[in-house]
Structure 1
């Protein structure tokens, strides 16, 4: 079986498009490709300029990577998503750049980021998707909901114990999605701390590439431990997959271990990529949506009031928050043939990058797009989970977690408020909120006094 990573298009370092640019290349100090730029959050002013002046813009990137086309209008993003036969996920993968193979270090991790469902084209993509669907259908999600509800209750207890002022990311939004994913995958309780540890190191890796000195000062042993951590992680994956093939269980790891492509068992490379994808994809979207929504509820108190007076509005609030937060910043496609988007000719093998945060604030689709309004008619039309055949398989699971979390958070802490202290990680792929300080009882307030009533004698 051929691996995606064996045939993927690597960057040539191209600086000029094959066909002339129809739109200007905007001057800005925000470098879309640069993880450090994203420590400021989404560049909403730049998004607006792109939509208005350069909706398909030839864009800069650090050499030796090849430059790419940025797509920022909602309808243009949908056009790309709905034509997977022209705009490929597999030809160049989903990442903004694919370096020369001699620079794939550690190679097993780089390959795993490519050899998985999200980077597949048809028919392989649909074959894999169908085999995993039982863990994402409404019946399974409903069964999972009760476990999530119990976990959220425990996390609220942790918040209360550590409050009133607490880092919401550390105590709550980091914890919930990893718990849910481990439940789905069937990761043994004893192994779950390992998953948390490995995810920490993989997130540190992207920070190290962007800010090596800062990362080194914060965690001096990181560069020396990283390769060993990666080896441990993939050895664990190989061991667990072998066990699930020999001793099946009713969990997602078993399903992955027994998946097939064209009638063949998946090679270890695809097994590695598959379980890691679920951990990463499922974790980031939910984690950053949770944090981003708490921030939004502080910034839009009249919307909070709507939810507090009518909790039935929580699903609409959750959808509008996903639009506003846009937890996944971009996805990349590669043209399989010469084509055109919004008057711009695109050559075969050129990259096309869709900026979801820009599309989700397109005023041609969402009236007053910078206003949080859960009552808007098209509240569910956002593209935070993508669109078309590659729309996130785990969207139902993510939405369930978000709704359960908001129901219990606002019941327990109706005045929870963002204090103003926030930190974004250097990450160009996901809206990585790495710290969000909140006061559980409203800014400046202390824990409410508990009054114990004595029974009448």
Structure 2
């Protein structure tokens, strides 16, 4: 099986064709520090209105890209993998300078199902599918519900806590490990690995800035990079150990499906096994964790919607669709044009990068009336594309839906007055909306029962 890393390209310098829309001043989707304040909703609104396909330059002479922000444009790009390839340049904004690439992370992040086109993508996806069907999710629900109860039991006497630490980061890890067949004794390690994976972009950015400035690396950054490398190595070592065990002794779990997958007539080569492990560990946790945290913020800011849900539990499924629309935890996905084409009236040349902003598309007033309003009864909330669209639609979306439903079914039943305090911390990351801390307060359960 061919390796994506052998032929992946950064992209073509542009714009080749005349710009139909202006590059808007003040819009900067590169600076990861700006994303610590949340997604740039105001910029996205300007772009949809004035430049729905906008040429965006890159700093330090990097290859720029077309930023697509309208619902129609993002859906068109997602739905046409022949014209807009995942494999040609990968799904990340830039490959980064060669001297700052972590060799294992680079290989694993490129040689992965999410970066494949055509038949190899379909075949690898099919190998995973038994663990993402409605029937399998049904068998998972009872275990997820039990874990929600256990986690809320630890929160119940506190009255105030960091929801991420106590709940949001732990539930997805439990669910993923149940699917993979990871022993309970090993599951705590996933928390640290995910933290470091979320910091990968910040580490690479700081290294690139220092190299560009000609300065020496500070002792603090050097120490952090050493710790980062240690944790990443440990994560891949563990994945390889588990995959080897499942190849030798397959079990009815997702890990065995990955270990024994056959694509184009052969078992997956080692770089793709690393890639499958990385994709499952990161994507399987991050989106759900941040949606759970984002939902708490939304309900606190919109107490009327919280009251509606507490009064009518039948609204929960649609409420989760609206939560994923509003939060849109994956900020963007990249594609590379394989031929000259056109989106929203803008001509795009073969080889140029195109980046789809999911959150911007999910707040397009042409698709969602009054799009910045959180409405758990929104008639078309399920039409959101927070999990993508077309052949690459997220394979784990039903698993995320299940966890959000079970989480808020019990959270509001046990802590009816729970609310975000206004204190939160968002990681500097322009690929995923990564909430690292979100403080909540509520009446401790025993005090409420006594009253």
Q: Give the direction of change, closer, same or farther, for the CA distance of 1:119–1:211 in structure 2 (3 Å limit).
A: same
The answer on whether the counterparts of 1:11 and 1:65 sit within 8 Å (CA) in structure 2 is: no
Look up the match of 1:455: none
Give yes or no for the alignment of 1:386 onto 2:391.
no
Within 5 Å, give how 1:111-130 maps onto structure 2. 111-130=107-126
Unmatched 5+ residue regions in structure 2? 210-216
Question: Which of 398, 409, 414 matches 1:412?
Answer: 414
Q: Give the direction of change, closer, same or farther, for the CA distance of 1:383–1:365 in structure 2 (3 Å limit).
A: same
Q: Give the direction of change, closer, same or farther, for the CA distance of 1:337–1:94 in structure 2 (3 Å limit).
A: same
Greater per-residue helix proportion:
2
Aligned-residue offset at 1:368? 0.6
User: SS of 2:273's equivalent?
Assistant: helix
The answer on whether the counterparts of 1:164 and 1:447 sit within 8 Å (CA) in structure 2 is: no
Give yes or no for the alignment of 1:63 onto 2:60.
yes
Aligned-residue offset at 1:210? 4.7
Unmatched 5+ residue regions in structure 1? 453-457
Question: Which of 71, 87, 101 matches 2:84?
Answer: 87
Give yes or no for the alignment of 1:4 onto 2:12.
no
Distance in 1 between residues matched to 2:450 and 2:366, nearest whole Å:
54
Look up the match of 1:374: 376
Look up the match of 1:137: 133
Distance in 2 between residues matched to 1:372 and 1:224, nearest whole Å:
43
Give yes or no for the alignment of 1:176 onto 2:171.
yes
The answer on whether the counterparts of 1:216 and 1:222 sit within 8 Å (CA) in structure 2 is: no
Q: Give the direction of change, closer, same or farther, for the CA distance of 1:223–1:99 in structure 2 (3 Å limit).
A: closer
Aligned-residue offset at 1:237? 2.0
Question: Which of 182, 185, 189 matches 1:190?
Answer: 185
Look up the match of 2:268: 266
Question: Which of 326, 330, 334 matches 1:332?
Answer: 334
Distance in 2 between residues matched to 1:446 and 1:121, nearest whole Å:
51
Question: Which of 142, 149, 162 matches 1:146?
Answer: 142
Aligned-residue offset at 1:196? 2.4
User: SS of 1:134's equivalent?
Assistant: helix
Look up the match of 1:20: 18
The answer on whether the counterparts of 1:151 and 1:176 sit within 8 Å (CA) in structure 2 is: yes
Aligned-residue offset at 1:204? 3.1
Look up the match of 1:358: 360
The answer on whether the counterparts of 1:65 and 1:98 sit within 8 Å (CA) in structure 2 is: no
Aligned-residue offset at 1:160? 1.5
Look up the match of 1:301: 303
Look up the match of 1:448: 447
Q: Deviations over 1:153-191 (max 9, x none)?
A: 011112113x21211111110111011111111112232
Look up the match of 1:47: 44
User: SS of 1:244's equivalent?
Assistant: helix
Distance in 1 between residues matched to 2:221 and 2:254, nearest whole Å:
34
Look up the match of 1:110: 106
User: SS of 2:90's equivalent?
Assistant: coil
Aligned-residue offset at 1:424? 1.1
Question: Which of 250, 253, 258 matches 2:252?
Answer: 250
Look up the match of 1:204: 199
**TM-score between the two structures when normalised by the length of structure 1:** 0.93
The answer on whether the counterparts of 1:11 and 1:99 sit within 8 Å (CA) in structure 2 is: no
Q: Give the direction of change, closer, same or farther, for the CA distance of 1:227–1:416 in structure 2 (3 Å limit).
A: same
The answer on whether the counterparts of 1:311 and 1:407 sit within 8 Å (CA) in structure 2 is: yes
The answer on whether the counterparts of 1:338 and 1:347 sit within 8 Å (CA) in structure 2 is: yes
Aligned-residue offset at 1:219? 8.9
Distance in 2 between residues matched to 1:169 and 1:207, nearest whole Å:
20
Distance in 2 between residues matched to 1:434 and 1:72, nearest whole Å:
26
Distance in 2 between residues matched to 1:181 and 1:73, nearest whole Å:
33
Q: Give the direction of change, closer, same or farther, for the CA distance of 1:53–1:132 in structure 2 (3 Å limit).
A: same
**TM-score between the two structures when normalised by the length of structure 2:** 0.94
The answer on whether the counterparts of 2:415 and 2:445 sit within 8 Å (CA) in structure 1 is: no
Distance in 2 between residues matched to 1:327 and 1:228, nearest whole Å:
27
Q: Give the direction of change, closer, same or farther, for the CA distance of 1:217–1:384 in structure 2 (3 Å limit).
A: farther
Aligned-residue offset at 1:415? 1.1
Distance in 2 between residues matched to 1:216 and 1:306, nearest whole Å:
52
Aligned residues: 443
